[in-house]
């Protein structure tokens, strides 16, 4: 496992980005940068300490070797965390649902993306955030909706846990290791 260096905002109160006051040229630059280098992800993590067997996480991230633009993103979007891997790659990430809905989603709704695929992934990400915000992700139907959304994002992507594993833990209460062994 690689060591990570993290830098977080120290503010105790949540900060809402005033997206209408955001400079147009800088907003377009950030949107273009994220269009090429950014990613919107939905992940399922097994949790033994929750009433639900999985924690459903939403994350926006961008990675680069040079932290200059990423640091500016963090400062101007007023949220998120910077991390550096041992190999020198920096990550700017926002995985707090409140920060995503207060700052990241309104920013990209205003400035958008030129690439249709990135715009589609963003719209799907917004759908998943809406499900999380109203608590529907705590129901089997909501989990299925989020799995459907995730399947259509990022060209399917490599997934650590299959949809079958995720659903099996909700329906049967089995551990992911039990499901992994029986599905092999």
- For the stretch 63-76, pLDDT in tens is 999 999 999 999 99
Question: Following CA atoms 168, 171, 176, 179 in sequence, which dihedral angle do they give, to the nearest 10 degrees?
Answer: -50
Report residue 7's pLDDT band, with 50, 70 and 90 as the boundaries. low
- For the stretch 45-64, pLDDT in tens is 998 776 788 999 999 999 99
Residue 67 parent element (H or E): none
Give the CATH number of domain 18-183; options: 3.40.640.10, 1.10.3720.10, 3.30.70.141, 3.10.28.10.
3.10.28.10
Residue 121 has pLDDT above 70, yes or no: yes
150 vs 162: CA distance, rounded Å: 11
Task: Name the residue among 156, 170, 135 with its Cα closest to residue 47.
Answer: 170
pTM for the full model?
0.83
97 CB-near residues (< 8 Å, 6+ apart): 58, 129, 132, 133
- Please give the structure tokens belonging to residue 73: 């993103």
The predicted pLDDT at position 20 comes to 87
Residue 180 has pLDDT above 90, yes or no: no
């Amino acid at each position: 496992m690689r060591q990570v260096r993290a830098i977080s905002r120290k503010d105790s109160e949540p900060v809402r980005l005033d997206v209408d006051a955001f400079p147009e040229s800088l907003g377009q630059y950030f949107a273009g940068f994220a269009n090429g280098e950014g990613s919107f992800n939905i992940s399922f993590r097994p949790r033994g300490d929750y009433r639900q067997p999985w924690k459903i996480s939403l994350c926006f991230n961008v990675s680069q070797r040079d932290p200059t633009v990423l640091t500016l993103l963090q400062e101007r979007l007023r949220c998120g965390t910077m991390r550096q891997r041992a190999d020198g790659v920096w990550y700017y990430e926002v995985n707090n649902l409140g920060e995503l809905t207060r700052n990241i989603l309104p920013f990209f709704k205003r400035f958008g993306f030129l690439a249709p695929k990135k715009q589609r992934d963003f719209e799907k990400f917004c759908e998943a955030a809406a499900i999380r915000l109203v608590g529907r992700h705590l129901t089997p139907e909501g989990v299925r909706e989020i799995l459907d959304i995730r399947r259509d994002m990022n060209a399917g992507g490599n997934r650590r846990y299959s949809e079958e594993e995720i659903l099996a833990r909700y329906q049967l209460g089995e551990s992911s290791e039990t499901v992994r062994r029986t599905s092999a």
